[in-house]
Structure 1
Amino acid sequence: MTNHTHFDFAKLTERERYKILIGTVIPRPIALVTTVSKEGQPNAGPFSFFNVLTHDPAIVAIGVENYADMRFKDTARNIRETGEFTVHICDNALVDQMEVCAIKFGPEVNEMEEAGLSTVPGQMVRSPRILAAPAALECRRHTTLQVGPAREIILGEVVGVFVRSDAVNSSNLHIDQQMMDAVGRMGGHTYARTRDQFDIKTLTPDEWAAQTAIPRPTIVSG
């Protein structure tokens, strides 16, 4: 039997809780989020507290840790002011440029220019689209949940999606996971690639019953 160590989160510091969470909830998808300020200044930053929550309506969530002095990060401020953002799925080829966007530049710096990322204007939102990303989800802010003095969860409704053409079958909407080549965030400074994959089909109750049925012994009359 495997032994486990229990941690009472009420007795841990904020940093200790963070280390436990990022080390256990793995791998986490990475949202490379682009926004523009109300003055039109572009911004990009990666967030690994991210996922899709529902498809009807189509809602994604991003956890943002703002500054301890209550200043908003550029992403959070821009979304509050414009109500728009674009989530890019980060693939293996984008990792180095994504890390450049993680540098804490000032609001006057365009991280995409620093990283050498080519962009085009968004189609349904004003935030720019990074051309090298395998997928881009154009979003409008649905709800902002203030969950702590410097922490908020931003819910965005996906209003349009770009997917690289060689990774999607437009007739049946099947997306080639290998072509997407997405990366995920682990604990610390570690990332994971997603090319090592396997399939499992969830059984129906009848299939499970048939699979787990205990065969009855055959009774031979004498």
Structure 2
Amino acid sequence: MPQDVQLIHSYNGIPFPTRVSIDRLRTLDRFDAREDDVLLVSYPKSGTHWLAEILKNLYHCRSPTHPTGQVTLTQPLEFQDPSKLAELKNLPSPRLIPTHLPKNMVPRELQTKQCKVIYVIRNPKDTAVSMFHYYQQNPHLPKVDKWATFLDMFLKGEGMKARVEKEKERSDANHTVCALTSDRKLIFRKGAVGDWKNHFTQDQNSQFEALLGEKINSSELASSVEYEC
């Protein structure tokens, strides 16, 4: 019988996909930030790619500080092995750097220098729906056919498992799903607001709202955000 492969591992109590190297996470504070860096922070499937495209177009309008109108879109900060850190250092400015890292894991220099930070917030119900379709369409991830099953796992934060023979992850840059530069049909879906209404039952919505209320009750930022429930 084939052995199961865990696609999630933990670092400092935070779950990460196994393609995020623990060694990479340990070396994040060696990252050399620049004052014209732009950090694009988000939870996965919250619209990172849409906003990255918008920002690239804005830079193409040629600002006075960057007359070439070019911006270097990097791979997500955490999605590389430690040996790639030097490559980031050699990329031209300005750099647009996506990440899904929590604040306490963002490299110190990105917080102490005058880097711009853009934080993407999306209705978490739409995020769950987007992630469900992403799991269905990505052949490199375990497939969950039923929405109810996926939502239950999403709410419980359960790690996903896949059979060894079905696990085809590669470490090359072209397959890095969040590289923001390839496989656009997989990355970009509807981008619509409120698509969750086409998936959630009343009971599922009530369950989601109750858990969400518990999680964000102490969040000052969350208390200032309004979304359709």
Give the shorter-chain TM-score range. under 0.3
| TM-score, reference length from structure 1 | 0.23
Which of the pair is proportionally richer in helix?
2
TM-score using structure 2 length: 0.22
Higher relative contact order (Cα pairs below 8 Å, separated by 6+ residues): 2
